[in-house]
Structures are given as structure tokens and as C-alpha cells.
Structure 1
Amino acid sequence: MPKLLSLLAFTLAVALVGPANAQMRGHGGPVRALAVTGDGRLAISGGFDQAAIVWGLDTGTALSVLRFHEGAVNAVTVLPDGRFATASEDGRIALWRLGLAEPERVLEGHAGPVAALAVAPDGTSLASAAWDGSARLWPLAGGAARSLEGHRGNVNAVAYLTDGRVVTAGADATVRIWSAEGEPLSNVTLPSAVSALAVASDGEIAAAGADATVRFLDQAGGVRAPVELGPAPVIALALSPDGTRIAAAGAGGTVAVIDRAKAQVLYTLIGPGLPVWSVAWRPDGSELITGGGDRLVRRWDAATGAPIGPLAMPRPVDALAAFHGERGAEVFRACVACHSLKADEGPRAGPTLAGIFGRRIASLPDYRYSDALKRMDIVWTPETVARLFEVGPARYTPGTRMPEQTINSAADREALMQFLEKATR
């Protein structure tokens, strides 16, 4: 009964929320992944802030913010039975039921970040691609997963062909085809690392990545046509519901919509210039939904490429403006995307740094830390934070999800500590 009441409340929320907002703000970091439900009413987004958000698309309202993962949410997908899945930098895949605040089931087995998800055409299995060099096939009814081994390096993308065969692609620049049982069948090597895949109902495969070119491949690996989009890498691909168009999102802040048959760009969505990390179509093909480095989920008219609602948003206040000219503030600019300085700004991809000095590691109640950090006996002081940047997070805090970075200059480390002492009080 509690589950039923939660679902009823969720359904009523969808129906009763207020007027539409075409730019949806709620994530504390770049929007890394998007999926739209089969009825076109809801979108699920995943962010670098470790959160997944369920949106009412016609109202522009965040209906539910889900915090389970202990890392960036890199992939989301809708399952045919009404559930949805999220996958994360923490190596886990969570299966959710709409309206519930905790996952119904958690799939564990990957030893690295999960980068992509795909659902089998018959709805019986879920495929995942991960940076541990493998892909996995998970039976949704339960049971052991099958591991697909063969890539050399990160596996970035996964998709299903209509007959149940699996396509994977990765940093080794290969696109590989596997049987439905996970046996290797064929592979082709492309000129550069592959970040994204899309598969059409006729079996054609679109692959794109570092060299900013979308290539249309047959199942033998032959390239029918390349479409050069340059100069920025392509991050995500999405096939239109009718299969005639491919949307290619790029690190340069644009989305090219390509006529698949002609291999020609129809138009380009021009955003605010920040990377577009994710793209999805509404099921009737009328709109494109994008998520990017501006932390927004945006809607676009798929017929014209025009933004729905105002494209420009008020420029956020520069948190470092009061420290203009200070060396420590300039060093900290590399950290702004992941960490806020004020408690009321909450977490981003990393926890807020408000009150950091004197605080025990992994102790903020509103942020999900890795188990490795929770077991450490560190109190953050100017000395311990400086040491973190001197030797690097991987050595000083093994098991952290913080990107590896060091500050080699002792003067810059000292300037950063002086800045943090003032800015985080």
C-alpha cells in the first residue's frame, strides 16, 4: 500500500504542477545523461552532482530528486515495464520505480565507472559499458550477468541491434559486435576513440567520438558515409523515433541534427557555448531534450531547431568576484565546477567547501561519499588540504572519486590555502 500511495502522489504531481518552464534547472553540475519515458511526459536526467532528477516535461518541474549514487550519474535509460535505470561513476546500476525514493534493485559487478546503458529489444536484459574495459549483459528478471571482454581500455558506449546482438565501442577506437549471448562476432577499428553509438532498426550503426565525425557503418564495419562536425569531439548520439535523423551533441556546445539517409546536417542547435553532454528525443519526434555544462535541461523544436522558451539565462554571479586579483582565487577557479564555497549553495559534483577547515573527511550529511573516504582518519586543515594537492588525491585519499590533479608550486598551494581560509568561513 505505501508504494501504491507514493505512485498515486507522483502521478498527481505530474498533473497538477504549474506552467511550463522550457529551461529546467535543478542539477548542481553538468547534466551527463537523459532519457524520456514512452509517453513523452517525463524525462530522467543524471548529473555530475551524483543526482538523478525526474522532470515533468510539459511543466518544466523537477518532480523527484534521487540521491543514491556515490559518483556522477553517467547514464540513464527507461525500461519497458515502467521502471528506469541509472548508472554511475561508482560502478553501480540502480533500477527505480517511479514515485519511490530508493532503488528497487542494485546491480553490482563493474570495477570502474559505468558510462552507458541500453535495453534489449525484447526488454529482458540491460547492457552496460564501463571503464573497467568490459560490457555486461544483466538479465532483468534476475540472475548472473554475462561479461563481454575484449576492448583495450574504457568501454564508452553500448547499444542493441534489433535481433538482440550487442554493439560496443570504446577508447581503443573499435566498434565491436557480440552475439545475444555475449560471444564476440566482429569488430572494426576507426580513426579515433569512440564515445557514442546509435543503432537504427535496419541495422545501420552510427558511431562518433574524439575526431568530431559521425560515421554510418554497416554490420561488417564498412563506412557508408562520414559526416564531419568538428572541431569539438562528439559526446552523445540519439536516433529520432522514426529513425530518419541522428542528433549529435558535442563538447563545443552545439547539437547537429543529421539526415541519416543523405548523411547531411539539417540544422544545428546553438546553445550557450558549454559542452552538451546528453541528448534525447520526445517519442513523437517533436522535440529534442538536451543537457549540458550549464547544468540545465533544455527543450528544442525538432522541426526548426529553435529553442523552446528563451535560450539565454541570467549569468550566474561570479563567486570569486570579491577576490579579484588574488592568486589563490585564480588557482581555485579550476575547482568551481565541482565545489561551492557557501553552505546554502549545497553540493555540486563534489561537496561544498563551506567550513572545511576543522571538518573531518567525509562527514557532511547531505553528500554521498565513497566507503573508502568514510574509513579515513583525516581532519581537513590548511596543512592536510595542501598535502592533498601536493601528492594528488589518488595517493593521499585512495578510493576517492576526485579527479587526479596536483598543484606543483608551493607558492600556489599556500595562496590557495589563504584563499580558502577566507572564503569558506
Structure 2
Amino acid sequence: MVRILALLCMIAALPAAAQEMRGHGGPVRALAVTADGQVALSGSFDTSAILWSIETGAALQVLRYHDGAVNAVAALPDGRFATAGEEGRVAIWQIGRAEPIRVIQGHSGPIAALAVSPDGQRIASASWDGTARVTPIASGEPQVIAGHKGPLNAAAFTPDGRSLVTGSHDLTLRITPLGGGAARAVDVGVPVNALAIAAGGEIFAACADGRVHVFSPDGVKRGEIIASEAPLVALALSADGKRLAAAGIRGSVALIERQAAGDAGRVERMLVGPGLPVWSVAFRPGGQELLTGGGDRLVRRWDVTTGEHIGPVAMIRPQDALARYNGDRGAEVFRACVACHTLEPDGGNRAGPSLYGVIGRRIGTAPGYVYSPAFRALDIVWSEATIARLFEIGPNAYTPGTKMPEQIVADPDDRQALVDFIARVTARR
């Protein structure tokens, strides 16, 4: 309670001016809101998480621990927070502490989602390693849940806390009793990217076909709601259970009004952002305000009843960082890299470090970027030859332990064009 009161005092001292929340150097991958609705936590591809005062838009604390993108966040009932990263670890944070107070390990792949049990005592993590883990937050060993045949993208506890529902790229969701017993596999027919469960146990699955599929507590299909023409990647249920928010990769968010039993629901209105992927959504308590996080690196506030943006509106797409290099073959090849790396001295780090000054730099030494121990231990100095080798055999083979997505530039001419481009535009000046 003392920690919560201290944070509220910090918020009260800030100037009151509703605005977008700006501060991340990469897309905002995850969002959570505290039970009192005053504080939001965002996780980003830039490897950081930020605690925000929602009313003022001010950053209260930046949390840095993870070696890769922060894919999932959660607000715990006791005022603490949880973050989970691409490197497969869950960090538990206490307000005001610069380091996590506990780190939960065990996954061998990126964690895509977190869920907190109704009693606030356990946290579930869903991973691309094909498993979920349910771990006591205070201390103790996890319960490992297997059975899916592909990466897990989502997890949610049932309202009684006795089962965990998981969603996967393998086209199924599974309902697993945590006290023992056989899991039930439910064929959805498309990859499941996000989950939400209502107080009555009804299961909502946001899927790659742009629809929210609705199931009874025991997994019987009840219907589906068309929310987008593009894949859905995020889903949130308001605390009062009256609305769902389903976000897609084309930048729109469908607000769905839940209907009476037997009716899946209907799209009440669409929130249209700057045309970029919306990676995360979270309602404030009361269900009248929605937060969204997207590819433009902002956390935005929306009035659910009107569909209007709260605070100043910045609807302009971020400038194309490669526009000045139109016609340059190397720049075209580099477009696969631009989401994670900047080129300019003031570009900063994103999911990957800035490449400014990379030629002649020892691996794992870019200022301000958090590298994995395995990466820092490598004996490589970046040169045109070493960069070419990286893209010839791929990051997994050349830099074991890297967070860089696996990619090979097989065409020698394209590879040379890419190397020449990087060397030219990142040269110190």
C-alpha cells in the first residue's frame, strides 16, 4: 500500500494535460493498466518498458532489463508489475526499483503473452517454445503446460483460476485444468493471436482471419465477429465485460459490443489510427476509455463512447527513413532491417541497436543497447567483410545467441549492395 500511495503522490504532482504518451524508440508491443486506472505500463520492441501517468502522459519510470523486445506486460494486484521479453524471461518489478525484484526463467523461446490469476498469486507465460508456464509470483516452481504443436501467442485464466486457456499458431486453443486432468483441444481453424475470457467463462479468440471467434467455457463454438480484413493481433475485454477491443495490423481497432447469451456480439464502431499496426490494447476501469499502442511508437487514448481521440492528434505516418535513398538497391534490401535499426547519429536504438558508426565497432558495444551475455562474448569487429558473412550464412550461425531475426541474403549482388549501403550511410561524420 505504501508503494501505491507513493506513486499516486508522484502523479498528483505532475501537470494535468492529457496527451499521447511518447518515449519509446520502437513499436509499442504490450499494454496494461492498473486497477485504479491511473497508471499504464507499456512494453516495446526497443527492449524497454515504461510506467506512465495516464492523465498527464508523463513517464514515471523506464524499466530496462530484457535482452530483446518486451512482448508482454501485466499489472499485479499488489501494485507491482511484470514484463516478459523475447529472450524468454519474466521480470517482476516494484515501483521505484531500478532492477527486477524477481526473474522467472525456463522458456527456451520468446514469451508472447502474460496472464495473472484471479487471486493475483500466479502468473502464466505463453511462449513460442510451444509451452505455457504457470508460476507462483512470490516463489515456487512452475507448472509446465505442453500439448500445442506450434508457437503459443496467448494465455488467459478462467474466472475461477482453475484452468488456463492457451492459443497457438497451430490453429487451436487448449483448455488445461491446473489441478490435474486432461486438457481439451479446440480446433479454431486459424492461428490464435490473442485471448480474453469474460466473467461467465466465455472465451474470445482474436485470430489471423480478422475475426473474433467466440466459445463457451467448455470450448463449444458460439459464433464469430468480423472485426477486420487483416489479421488481429491484440484483444482486450473491458472490466465491466460489456465491450471488446480487437486490434489489427492495418491500424484499426474494432470496438465490439457484447450481446445477450447466444449472440456473439456486434462491431459498435471502428477506431482508425495512422494506418500502422496496432500491437496492443487495454481498457481503463469503467470501460469508457481505451489505450492503444502501435507501430508509431505512441500510446494513444480513445473515448470509447464517441470514438474520438483524447488529447492532441498526430495522424501523420512516421517519415520514411529511406525515402532519400530511392533507387538505391542497397536501401531496398535494407528495408527488411529498418524496423529494428536506425542509421542516423540521433536515431537511437530500437529492437536492435543503432547502426551509426557500425564499421570498426566491436560486436555488442553500441551505446545504450542491452545485449545478451552470449552476444557480448563474441569476438567480432564489424567490417564490410563480417557484415557480408553475417547475411551470407545467417545470424543464428554467425552470431549464436543473437536476438536478430534469422535472415539470409542469398543473392551475392544484393548482399554486396546491402553491405555497401550500410558502410556508406553509417560512416561517422
Residue 44 of structure 1 pairs with residue 41 of structure 2: yes
How many matched pairs? 422
Find the aligned partners of 2:300 and 2:77 in 1 and give their Cα distance.
25
Once the two structures are TM-superposed, the CA of residue 52 in structure 1 deviates from its matched residue by 0.2
Tell me if the contact between 2:94 and 2:101 (Cα under 8 Å) persists in the aligned partners: yes
* 92-101 vs 7-16, which moves further: 7-16
* 300-309 vs 319-328, which moves further: 319-328
Amino acid paired to 1:211: D
Amino acid paired to 1:39: D
Find the aligned partners of 1:103 and 1:258 in 2 and give their Cα distance.
36
Amino acid paired to 1:348: R
Tell me if the contact between 1:94 and 1:105 (Cα under 8 Å) persists in the aligned partners: yes
Indicate the residue corresponding to 1:298 in structure 2: 300
1:81 equivalent among 78, 83, 95? 78
Q: How does 1:38-77 map to 2 (within 5 A)?
A: 38-77=35-74
Q: How does 1:223-242 map to 2 (within 5 A)?
A: 223-242=221-240
Residue 130 of structure 1 pairs with residue 132 of structure 2: no
The residue matched to 1:184 in structure 2 has which SS? coil
Find the aligned partners of 2:55 and 2:373 in 1 and give their Cα distance.
39
Find the aligned partners of 1:74 and 1:182 in 2 and give their Cα distance.
29
Residue 184 of structure 1 pairs with residue 182 of structure 2: yes
Find the aligned partners of 1:197 and 1:319 in 2 and give their Cα distance.
35
Deviation per CA, 1:69-89: give whole Å up to 9, x if none.
001101001111110100111
Amino acid paired to 2:100: P
Find the aligned partners of 2:224 and 2:55 in 1 and give their Cα distance.
36
Find the aligned partners of 1:7 and 1:186 in 2 and give their Cα distance.
40
The residue matched to 2:183 in structure 1 has which SS? strand
The residue matched to 2:287 in structure 1 has which SS? coil
Amino acid paired to 2:137: L
Tell me if the contact between 1:212 and 1:230 (Cα under 8 Å) persists in the aligned partners: yes
Indicate the residue corresponding to 2:136 in structure 1: 139
Indicate the residue corresponding to 1:268 in structure 2: 270
* Structure 1 residues 221 and 315, CA gap change in structure 2 (3 angstroms): closer
Indicate the residue corresponding to 2:411 in structure 1: 409
Tell me if the contact between 1:170 and 1:194 (Cα under 8 Å) persists in the aligned partners: yes
The residue matched to 1:94 in structure 2 has which SS? strand
* Structure 1 residues 42 and 329, CA gap change in structure 2 (3 angstroms): same
Once the two structures are TM-superposed, the CA of residue 142 in structure 1 deviates from its matched residue by 0.8
2:198 equivalent among 192, 200, 204? 200
| Cα RMSD after superposing both structures | 1.8
1:366 equivalent among 360, 365, 368? 368
Residue 210 of structure 1 pairs with residue 208 of structure 2: yes
Give the TM-score taking structure 1 as reference length: 0.95
Deviation per CA, 1:99-147: give whole Å up to 9, x if none.
2211111001111111111111111111111111111110122111110
Once the two structures are TM-superposed, the CA of residue 192 in structure 1 deviates from its matched residue by 0.6
1:419 equivalent among 418, 421, 429? 421
Residue 112 of structure 1 pairs with residue 109 of structure 2: yes
* Structure 1 residues 375 and 243, CA gap change in structure 2 (3 angstroms): same
Indicate the residue corresponding to 2:170 in structure 1: 172
* 40-49 vs 367-376, which moves further: 367-376
Tell me if the contact between 2:3 and 2:79 (Cα under 8 Å) persists in the aligned partners: no
The residue matched to 2:310 in structure 1 has which SS? coil
Q: How does 1:373-412 map to 2 (within 5 A)?
A: 373-412=375-414
Amino acid paired to 1:386: A
Find the aligned partners of 1:311 and 1:184 in 2 and give their Cα distance.
50
Tell me if the contact between 1:278 and 1:292 (Cα under 8 Å) persists in the aligned partners: yes
Instruction: State, as a whole percentage, how many aligned pairs show the same letter.
Output: 56
Gaps of 5+ in 2: none
The residue matched to 2:106 in structure 1 has which SS? coil
Deviation per CA, 1:225-245: give whole Å up to 9, x if none.
211223211111100111011
* 368-377 vs 70-79, which moves further: 368-377
Tell me if the contact between 1:6 and 1:100 (Cα under 8 Å) persists in the aligned partners: no
The residue matched to 1:334 in structure 2 has which SS? coil
* 338-347 vs 265-274, which moves further: 338-347
The residue matched to 2:336 in structure 1 has which SS? helix
Indicate the residue corresponding to 2:159 in structure 1: 162
Find the aligned partners of 2:323 and 2:254 in 1 and give their Cα distance.
35
The residue matched to 1:328 in structure 2 has which SS? helix
Find the aligned partners of 2:174 and 2:319 in 1 and give their Cα distance.
46
* 335-344 vs 294-303, which moves further: 335-344
Once the two structures are TM-superposed, the CA of residue 19 in structure 1 deviates from its matched residue by 4.1
* 283-292 vs 314-323, which moves further: 314-323
Find the aligned partners of 2:417 and 2:135 in 1 and give their Cα distance.
49
Amino acid paired to 1:215: H
The residue matched to 2:346 in structure 1 has which SS? helix
Tell me if the contact between 2:48 and 2:63 (Cα under 8 Å) persists in the aligned partners: yes
